[in-house]
Every structure is written in structure tokens, then in C-alpha cells.
Structure 1
């Protein structure tokens, strides 16, 4: 029984590993001269055929289409927020800041989920556990700050503003879109089906962004297109599906949902390791080591509370 309770946590950590690919590769593409519009839109254009093949092989496309047609406007609104308003600011921020800073700021999504639960009507959160949730999330965020404190001195105020604000927007958009879609589907669809459905429903947004890119951005290179394909598989398909599977398993328990969302803090560690390997940044200092330990402690406490 205890092992079954830990499955969503394991899925969350695994999804964080694949999500970290987004932060590192988006930064790598930006450093290599790629444009953030193509980094964002191509990911979802790649995801669409990949997911159609996988979900189609399971013969689960028709039930998905039926669900979308029941409430198409809600699918479009929350998918655009959950995928579009989430991912576009992340790729924009990657043009101005290293992946470690984006991954660090992204951890605000942990608190964002708690805030959304507090504001929602009929929350399942017990007040005592809610306070503990904020406390444990605070430990994680403190750990994230310590992990990057040595690097923050190298970032100017204007750069910090233009890279942090879009990520804060994304940090609220993702859990909001995810929660609304969980309410809408109510466990009727698998993680893969929901990922495909949200990809389809967000396509109008990505077509508009692409049109803007045609007139304002340089043409994408073959290398950039191939890299977005990797991001689409690792983050768009594998990570998103794993995360949706994890949150779907605990969708009726706000405490456990907060614990699953807290696992995304490990993205900081994974992104840092990815930058060390791919972009050859400096190894972490003593503050970073203490910070990573605090992240792990906060995650464990969240898991125990759930």
C-alpha cells in the first residue's frame, strides 16, 4: 500500500528528469542562435503526429475526440493556458537567461499550485496540512535559492526582470491549465490521451505564433528543428504524459497533488547537471550542495505528509 502511494512521486521525479531537457536544450538553442518562437511552436508541431501515432495505436483517439466535442471551448481555453501560456514564456526567457535560473524560478509553480488550491472553492486541503504544505514548499524554494545564490550575483537587474517575470507567468499557467483539464476530463482519459487532446486544442494558438514568427523571426535551421524534435519527445511526450499520469492518480487529494507537484523541484538538479555536461558551466559550490539537500528534504516531507 505504501509503495502504491509512492508511485505518483516516482512518476513525478521521472517526469522532472525529462522536463529538465527542455530547460537545457532551449538554452542551448538560444546560445546557438535559434529563436524562441521556433523553439516553442515546433515542439508542439512535433508532438501532434507523435502522439497521434501512439494514441492511435491504442485505438483511443475516438473517445478523446468525443470528449473534446462535448466542451470544445473549454478544451481550447485551458489547453492554450496549460500549454501555450505555459511554454511560450519559458522559451522566451531562455533567450535571456541560463537554464539554471529558469529552472530555479520555475519552482514557484510548487507554491502556485498551493495558492490555486487555496483560492478554489470546495478545496480538499485540511488547514493543518495546508500550512505544512506551504512550509515544506518554502523549504524547497529556499533550497532552490541557495543552489543558485552564487550565480545570482552575475545577473543584472534588467536581465533578471525580463527572464524571471515570464517564468512566473508560466509557473501559474501550467498548474492552472492542468487542474482545469483534470476537472473537465474527470479521469475519463489517460495521460497520453489528455496530452494529445490539449495539443490538438492548443493548435490555433501555435498557428498564430507561427504566423508571427514568419514575419518577425529569422528562418529556423535544420539543427534547431532537430533539437525541437528531441524536446518534443523528451519533454512534450514523455515528461508531460508521466506528470499527467502522476497528477491524475492523486487528483482528488490536494495534499498528495501538492507532493507530486513538489517533485518538479528536482528539475533544478537535473538542469544543473545538464548544463555542466552540455554547456560546461562551473561545478556547484557549497551553497548549491546545501540547496540541493534542502530540495530533497522538502520533497521527502511533502511525500510523508501526503
Structure 2
């Protein structure tokens, strides 16, 4: 039963990451057309909050969420600000310094970052770094490295690419840290929140950060254009609503095992494959060469190894 639950979590995580990929593709699209990063980041979460609150209100679940948040508002403000504030500021800014495939690829370091953070977040069996899960995550990272190296002669300068990598690395640690801290808080307090409620609560907690971003964007460039508004709305709907809900459901199913959590987080490597395909079809980016294709193969192999029957023991609750 536990093995089936873990496989379902991995499948949900994989589906979520297909929707997450819209962030990288559309951020690159906006950056290439002069859309200011502050408006992109602030509007993304603002639209997300409005969409989720409408759905929760219709389902009669909004009141419960607000009561839970009032019990410890500081936790939601802090980690919501990190998850939907800092991490997306870093990712959106990075799109100004490098292509979407680089942002998507480097962000996969969150796979390893989530594992390395476990000893500092948990006090039970999950505090142990699962060696086999770490090795499989490193296999995926090797595939990502091949894909990045295959694109080293692109149109961006080394200085721009290093800025891109640095910003995304910060996001790669901020995202799993905030995600796991809020998941742990909900678990310890015994709250019964759905995946949609947790996403909405995280987004609501980040609103002070979003307000500052919107004000900053206004004083920098004035109001955003209609094209930027529409594009950011699509990002919010695809990545913010559908992607986050699916990913939070996957994390909830895998919450009792560090190895299972690592497996779900490893599904994020799918984002780079979808991003490359999207940029090739929509933005005219060249398809990776043989080294890039080798990288894709390594990523797929790493994901398959997480799901084969021989991995079930490592993914069970101990």
C-alpha cells in the first residue's frame, strides 16, 4: 500500500512539473519583450491568490484556512514570503540573465538541496540523508550538467550566465526550505488542510512581499502592458494553481519518508525537458546537441530508477 502511495506521489509530482515549466518558458518570453521582473513576480502570486480564494470560497473551505492561519500568522507570513516571494524573485530575475533552459536546469539543484536540508528540519527518521536517494539525485544532476554544457556557446556572456546561475541556486534552496517548513508546521499542529488550502495559505502569506514588488515595479516602469498581464495570468493559472496543487498533493502523500520526499522533488527535473521543448517550439531555440540529448537520457534514467520495484524498500516508511 505504501509503495503504491509513493508511486502515485511520483506520478503527481511529474504532472505538476509539466505545468511548472510554463514559468520558465513564459518568463523568458516576457524578459525578451521588456517585461519588468517585479511586475511579473508580484502579479503572478496576486493572480494566484484571487483564483484560489474564489475556488475555496465556492467550496466552503476558505473560512477554515483563515482560522488556521490566524492561529500562527507569523509562520505563514515568513515561509509564504520565502516560497512565493524570495524564490520567485530569484527565478524571475534570473530570466533576465539567461535562457529558460538554464533557469530550469539549474533550479533542479533543489532536488539535492531538499535532501541536504532534511537533517536541519526534522527530528525523526526523516532527518537522515538517504544515501541511495542522494546518489540518484546526483545522477539526475549529472544529466542536467550535460544539458547545460551542450549550450555553453549561446548568445549570453559568461558574466550574465553566472548571475543567472547564482540567482537560481538561491531559489533552489529557498523553495524546498519553505515548502518543507510549512508542511511540517501543518503536520505538527494537526491541521487538516487540503493541497489547495495549503497553496492558498502560502500565497496569502506572501502578499506583503507581493505588495512591495508591485509598488517597486510601478515606480520603476509605471503600469504593466496588457500583454504582460495576460502572460502572467497564464503563468499563475498553469504553474501557480494546477502545478502547485498537484505538487503539494504529491508532497502530502510522501510526507512520512525522507526518501519518498526526495523522489517527489526529483520529478522536478522533468521541467528542463518540457522547457527545452517549449522554447524550441515557441521561441525558436535550437535543440540540444548529442551531449544535451545524453543529459536528457540520464535524467529519465534517474527518474525511472526511483519508480522501479527495487526502489520500493527505500521508499517505504521505516
**2:256 paired with 1:252:** yes
What is residue 143 of structure 1 aligned with on the other side? 143
**2:273 paired with 1:269:** yes
Whole-angstrom distance in 1 between the partners of 2:292 and 2:33: 27
What is residue 244 of structure 2 aligned with on the other side? 240
Change (3 A) 1:119 1:153: farther
The Cα offsets for residues 61-108 of structure 1, whole Å up to 9 and x where unpaired, read as 111011100000111001101111111111111111100000011001
Deviation for aligned residue 1:126: 8.1
What is residue 23 of structure 2 aligned with on the other side? 22
Whole-angstrom distance in 2 between the partners of 1:213 and 1:123: 43
The alignment yields a C-alpha RMSD, in angstroms, of 1.5
The Cα offsets for residues 1-43 of structure 1, whole Å up to 9 and x where unpaired, read as 3443311111100011000000000000111121111111111
Whole-angstrom distance in 1 between the partners of 2:19 and 2:101: 15
Whole-angstrom distance in 1 between the partners of 2:137 and 2:98: 24
TM-score (norm 2): 0.92
For the 8 Å contact 1:123–1:254, the answer to whether it is kept is no
For the 8 Å contact 1:35–1:218, the answer to whether it is kept is no
Deviation for aligned residue 1:55: 1.2
What is residue 56 of structure 1 aligned with on the other side? 57
What is residue 46 of structure 1 aligned with on the other side? 47
Task: Single out whichever of 286-295 and 146-155 deviates more from structure 2.
Answer: 146-155
Structure 2 portions without partners, runs of 5+: none
Whole-angstrom distance in 1 between the partners of 2:37 and 2:141: 27
Deviation for aligned residue 1:117: 0.5
For the 8 Å contact 1:83–1:177, the answer to whether it is kept is no
For the 8 Å contact 1:34–1:224, the answer to whether it is kept is yes
Residue correspondences, number: 305
Structure 1 portions without partners, runs of 5+: none
Post-superposition, which runs of at least 4 consecutive aligned residues in structure 1 deviate over 4 A?
none
What is residue 288 of structure 1 aligned with on the other side? 292
Change (3 A) 1:68 1:301: same
Deviation for aligned residue 1:265: 0.4
Instruction: Report matched runs for 1:185-196 at 5 Å.
Output: 185-186=186-187, 188-196=192-200
**2:204 paired with 1:203:** no
Deviation for aligned residue 1:218: 4.6
Change (3 A) 1:215 1:200: same
